[in-house]
């Protein structure tokens, strides 16, 4: 772990975080390792402190901003230079939910693995997912939820695909901290994974079977 990056993100020192990320890149660290070994652990620690009432929402927000802006340096470097896309993915955080760090990571990693990604952002209504899938003829839908109260929007979106008659032509992947394989089974999603690396493996598996 790079403790400079970890501490700068954890304490929301945005400019320092970006400076340390640049320095790590210049000294030869891979973007993937910087994200996995230092940046995600910093957000995990921020979450732990929040749960223990040592951090409050403003501290979470500045940590999240440092994470996002450092990720913005690394995401383009993850992007693959391949020609034919592996498949097309529509991704977004479900309705009512504004958390996007994990979703952005999954999007970047999928792009890095050669998928063409259409990122709809946060607070995405079921109809908007449907429209984007149809317009872009995407094979995969990725939905993210970080709140237990927004998880039902995943079920609602799947129902919207069923009602529109396109459920069988779309592979649905779900994720986010409160989401589980059991929940994926319950709502009839095609797959769940607990992190961005595993999301890429899952997307590859699903597309090769389809």
CB of residue 33 to ligand B12, shortest distance in Å: 14
Q: Considering the complex, what minimum distance in angstroms separates the CB of residue 60 from ligand B12?
A: 4
**182 forms part of the interface with ligand B12 (CB under 6 A):** no
Q: Does 146 bind ligand B12 (CB under 6 A)?
A: yes
- 143 close to 157: Cβ distance less than 8 angstroms: yes
Considering only residues 100 through 139, tell me which ones interact with ligand B12, judged by CB under 6 A: 100-103, 105-106
Q: Is 206 in the site for ligand B12 (CB under 6 A)?
A: no
**Residue whose CB is less far from ligand B12, 51 or 137:** 51
The CB-of-78 to ligand B12 minimum distance in angstroms stands at 13
Is residue 196 within 8 A of residue 106, CB to CB? The reply is yes
- Tokens read off for 9: 């993100």
Nearer to ligand B12, 28 or 79 (CB): 79
Q: In the sheet that 116-119 helps form, which strands lie side by side, from edge to edge?
A: 116-119, 88-93, 140-144, 171-175, 191-192
Contact flag: residue 154 with ligand B12 (CB under 6 A): no
Residue 178's φ and ψ, nearest 5 degrees, are -85, -5
Tell me, what DSSP letter sits at residue 178? T
Among 24, 161, 196, 200, binds ligand B12 (CB under 6 A): 196
Residue 34 is a binding residue for ligand B12 (CB under 6 A): no
Q: At what angle do helices 126-136 and 152-163 cross, to 10 degrees?
A: 50
Q: Strand, coil or helix: what is 170?
A: coil
**Counting contacts by CB under 6 A, is residue 176 touching ligand B12?**
yes
Token code pair at residue 92: 């977004």
Site track for ligand B12 across 41-80, x = CB under 6 A: --x--xx--xx-----x--xx--x----------------
Cα–Cα distance between 121 and 7 in angstroms, integer? 27
**Token couple for 189:** 């999603």
Where do contacts with ligand B12 occur on this chain (CB under 6 A)? 40, 43, 46-47, 50-51, 57, 60-61, 64, 96-103, 105-106, 142-144, 146-149, 173-178, 193-196, 199
């Amino acid at each position: 772990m790079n403790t400079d990056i970890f501490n700068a993100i954890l304490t929301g020192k945005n400019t320092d975080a970006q400076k340390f990320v640049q320095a790590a890149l210049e000294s030869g660290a891979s973007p993937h390792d910087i994200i996995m070994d230092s940046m995600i652990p910093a957000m995990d620690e921020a979450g732990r402190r929040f749960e223990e009432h040592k951090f409050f929402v403003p501290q979470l927000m500045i940590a999240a901003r440092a994470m996002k802006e450092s990720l913005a340096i690394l995401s383009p470097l993850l992007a693959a230079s391949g020609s034919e896309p592996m498949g097309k993915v529509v991704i977004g955080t479900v309705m009512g939910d504004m958390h996007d760090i994990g979703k952005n990571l999954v999007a970047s990693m999928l792009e890095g693995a050669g998928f063409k990604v259409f990122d709809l952002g946060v607070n995405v209504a079921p109809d908007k997912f449907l429209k984007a899938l149809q317009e872009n003829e995407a094979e995969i839908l990725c939905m993210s939820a970080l709140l237990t109260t927004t998880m039902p929007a995943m079920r609602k979106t799947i129902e919207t695909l069923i009602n529109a008659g396109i459920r069988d032509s779309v592979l649905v992947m779900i994720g986010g901290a409160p989401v589980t394989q059991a929940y994926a089974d319950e709502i009839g999603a095609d797959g769940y994974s607990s992190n961005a690396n595993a999301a890429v493996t899952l997307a590859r598996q699903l597309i090769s079977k389809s």
